[in-house]
Chains A and B, each alone.
Chain A
Amino acid sequence: MSGVDTRELARRLRRHAVRMTHRAHASHVGSCLSIADILAVLYGAVLQVDSAWPDRPDRDRLVVSKGHAAAIVYAALAETGFLPVEELDSYSADGSRLAGHVTRTVPGVELSTGSLGHGLPVAAGMALAAVRAGAGWRAICILSDGELDEGSNWEAVQFSQQFRLSNLVAIVDYNKIQSFGSVAEVSDLHPLADKFRAFNWGVHEVDGHDHAALKAALTSPAPLTGRPTAIVAHTIKGKGVSFMEGELAWHYKSPDEAQLKAALAELEVGA
């Protein structure tokens, strides 16, 4: 995917996400917009995947543990050739394969998720498989910040340092908002980067909307030799649509006609 304009890709993903959640009257548009840039950089410039051969054995594995961001994940797969772009209109519809949480029946999806705290252990197992096979591919997992309340993640964090899974990358979408309020109010994660460091992980701390920084973190050598990498990506929930940015309500609401129109206007080229 070299040569892809990842900023343009991110803009397109955001437009799909607001349209899809509007059409399906679905929740979680804020969670989708939060990771638009992360997905655009991954699919546009980092992941070694092949839409013509989704199960290619030497592909990189992307596990999206925050399965509620399904709309934008499907959008990323559609924009990169894994499924027809028109199929995005069926998101959450009766009988559709595009379920409201990320589902593996969609080409390019590695793991069905939706219950939090499942993705990182599975990604760690994938990374272990590559290490034991002497294969060069990586396992990359996108987690939400609220999801880190689940203890199963920290089991996997501990396991992965013990087994020296340097081919494992956990990207935390640290938008500072979880279901009931701010992360600081509900279950404070600060200092998050230090938590990973204390578990012997290498850490990059980046602006999760800065494509150059994301790309550098995802392609530079691991910050700690022989250990897994955490990328603490500081993000804004709802990023790209001014009235959704930093607003808890957009974890739940779907945009109505007027809000869709306003959102798409903000997401025009050059806007």
Chain B
Amino acid sequence: MRAETIDSLTAYARMNPDVMLLTADLGYSVLERFAEALPAQYANVGVCEQAMVGIAAGLALSGRRVVLYSIANFPTLRCLEQLRNDVCYHNLPVTVIAVGGGLAYGAQGYTHHGVEDLGIISMLPNMAVACPADPHEAMALLPQLLERRRPGYLRLGRSGEPELHRANVEITLGCAVWMRRGTDIALLATGPILGRALRAADELAKRGISASVASFPTFSPLDTALVREAASSHRAILTVEEHSVEGGFGSRVAEALLMGGHAPRFGKFGVTDALRGRIGSQSWLLDALGSVEHHAQALL
């Protein structure tokens, strides 16, 4: 979904010359298409994420909309205070794109596992946090983040994520969408791990369990209306995320349920301490967390 998103950004920036793309020297073989098409709107600032965020704030204070590009923790945790003070406190139109979110760079080691970003970034003021599941969601959300003209975060996977939606599904920032409807349990997923939730629903159907699946392309603000609708129509809810289950999507959904007066059987599937220090492919690491269908069945 990296390449598709940058193509989408290039098209948008061509129409909107106030949009600039900065990278901290990452994006080889991905960003060239933007840099070659729109050199005056592009800058590789070097390997310096803290300065990159400050530079973005300076550009934004001077009338630009700025998109930042880097990997997982580098444009987020490395420069968290610059995001907090320079961008979010000033409510500036700066959108951070982090690629390799979750365990996409799983074999590169824990330094490259982006599994705390969503929870931490969503605490920052004025910030919208998007976590698309497939290229369709990513390409739909990027222009919406830019049109918002406020701080934004777009967490992407890497490449080769399959399309999970029928192409004509409308994706709106702040809104979750039902992928399939069942009656027993609702699987609520954010990000490319949605594919596992959909496969789990197929597997559960074989076992006589009717599962709904919803995609949450926006992590924050959370679509609490859909969460409560899920609670009203299912006995159980399982959240599915490629992120720490401490303070992540499941925690936010649980809070929304409690605040809404709902108490369904509830579980969280996501990254736990069991994975810390383990390396391997994304699919191998996710397999190590157990199966989504097993977690779902255990709730019923």
- Chain A interface residues toward B at CB < 8 A: 57, 61, 104, 110-115, 117-118, 120-130, 132-133, 139, 151-152, 155-156, 158-159, 162-163
With A124-B51, A156-B54 known as contacts, the answer to whether A129 contacts B63 (CB < 8 A) is yes
The 10 closest A-B pairs by CB, nearest first: A125-B58, A121-B54, A129-B62, A155-B51, A155-B48, A125-B55, A126-B58, A152-B50, A122-B58, A121-B51
B51 and A156 within 8 A (CB): yes
> Whole-angstrom distance from the CB of A121 to the nearest CB of chain B?
3
A121 and B53 within 8 A (CB): yes
With A111-B86, A132-B40 known as contacts, the answer to whether A155 contacts B58 (CB < 8 A) is no
Name the B residues within 8 Å of A151 (CB-CB). 50
Chain A: CB-nearest residue to B41: A132
Which listed residue, A112, A114, A126, A155, touches B62 by the CB 8 Å rule?
A: A126
Name the A residues within 8 Å of B55 (CB-CB). 121-122, 124-125, 128, 156, 159
Q: Is the interface of A mostly helix, strand, loop or mixed?
A: helix
Contact with A along B230-246 (1 / 0, CB 8 A): 00000000000000000
Check if B213 is an interface residue, CB within 8 A of chain A: no
Q: Is the interface of B mostly helix, strand, loop or mixed?
A: helix
Name the A residues within 8 Å of B60 (CB-CB). 125
State in angstroms the CA–CA spacing of A39 and B51 once bound together: 25
With A123-B58, A128-B58 known as contacts, the answer to whether A159 contacts B46 (CB < 8 A) is yes
Please tell me the size bucket of the interface on B. Answer: 20 to 34
State in angstroms the CA–CA spacing of A132 and B59 once bound together: 10
A124 and B50 within 8 A (CB): no
Chain A: CB-nearest residue to B89: A112
Name the B residues within 8 Å of A162 (CB-CB). 46
State in angstroms the CA–CA spacing of A162 and B40 once bound together: 15
State in angstroms the CA–CA spacing of A155 and B55 once bound together: 10
Given A111-B57, A118-B86, A152-B54: 15 more A-B contacts, CB < 8 Å: A61-B61, A111-B86, A121-B53, A122-B86, A124-B55, A125-B56, A125-B58, A125-B62, A126-B58, A128-B58, A129-B58, A132-B40, A156-B51, A159-B46, A163-B43
Which listed residue, B46, B54, B61, B85, touches A110 by the CB 8 Å rule?
A: B61
Chain A: CB-nearest residue to B20: A132
Interface centre among B45, B53, B54, B64 (most CB of A within 10 A): B54
Which listed residue, B48, B50, B53, B59, touches A128 by the CB 8 Å rule?
A: B59
A122 and B48 within 8 A (CB): no
Q: Which of B17-73 contact A (CB under 8 A)?
A: 20, 40, 43, 45-46, 48, 50-64
A129 and B64 within 8 A (CB): yes
Contact with A along B75-92 (1 / 0, CB 8 A): 000000110011001100
B82 and A112 within 8 A (CB): no
A125 and B59 within 8 A (CB): yes
Name the B residues within 8 Å of A128 (CB-CB). 43, 55, 58-59
